[in-house]
Amino acid sequence: MFCPQCGNNMPDPLAGFCTRCGYRLTSGSAQPPAQQPAPPPAGFPPPPQPPPTPPVSAAAPVSPGPVFNYAPWATRALGALVDGVIVSVAGGALLIVSLMFFGGMGMAGLGGGLHSSALGGIGIGGCCCVFSILPIALLLTGLWNKVYLVAQRGCSVGQGIVHVKVVDAQGQFLSQGTALLRLLAHVGLSFVPFVGWIDLLWPLWDERRQTLHDKAVGCYVVMAG
């Protein structure tokens, strides 16, 4: 046991007093002195202290994505009709050129005495060309109307008239590469019978009012105002 006053180690705690300082002990008073940490030796730096625990801060809220006001199907259809006029003008010009070309070949064949099978081949080629005029006109006019203009200002001629624009998932204008892929998807679907109509009607039941060629590149048609 230890004296609570001087800390002397008393071999005989039953004596009732400290043999060094004379302190009279009572029951339960002889307790060992509290151990204090030893100071560092002279000339040595103090031991490193653990870094303070940084306060726990609340996580920064995640910014939600843009909220789109999707363009109604009727508005998109009206804009598509305006763009269709441009395609029709280009298609009419291509039709006149193709008729003149294949008609001239047919007349030359008749005058030159070509075999009927050769004339039939010219006729089949002319029919195939006529059926391909609409997709070709859509592609040629689309390079300016659906790629360049959409990438520069976000809308084609018809879409600008009805105040809608084409944006990506972040609400930004499409790049020319993405707009070109969207146009190629549109043209490719128009080559397949009935699929072109399904593509144009798809926004009627789609939650985000996208066409199939919109979904192909992950873009949306929204109101511009």
Q: What angle do CA 161, 137, 216 make, to 5 degrees?
A: 70
pLDDT of 77 reads 95
Which amino acid, residue 186?
H
| CA-based end-to-end distance of the chain | 89
CA distance 190 to 37: 86
Q: Provide the pLDDT for residue 217.
A: 96
Beta bridge partners of 167: 173, 220
Q: Report pLDDT for 181.
A: 96
pTM passes above 0.75 = no
Ranges of each domain in the chain: 1-32, 73-88+133-223
Can you give the pLDDT of all 225 residues of the chain as single tens digits? 677 777 667 666 666 677 777 767 665 554 555 566 666 666 667 777 777 777 766 666 666 668 899 999 999 999 999 998 988 888 787 778 777 765 555 555 545 554 555 444 444 544 555 556 777 777 888 899 999 999 999 999 999 999 999 999 999 999 999 999 999 999 889 888 889 899 999 999 999 999 999 999 999 999 997
- In angstroms, the CA 151 to CA 61 distance is 32
Q: Is 127 helix (H, G, I), strand (E, B) or coil?
A: helix
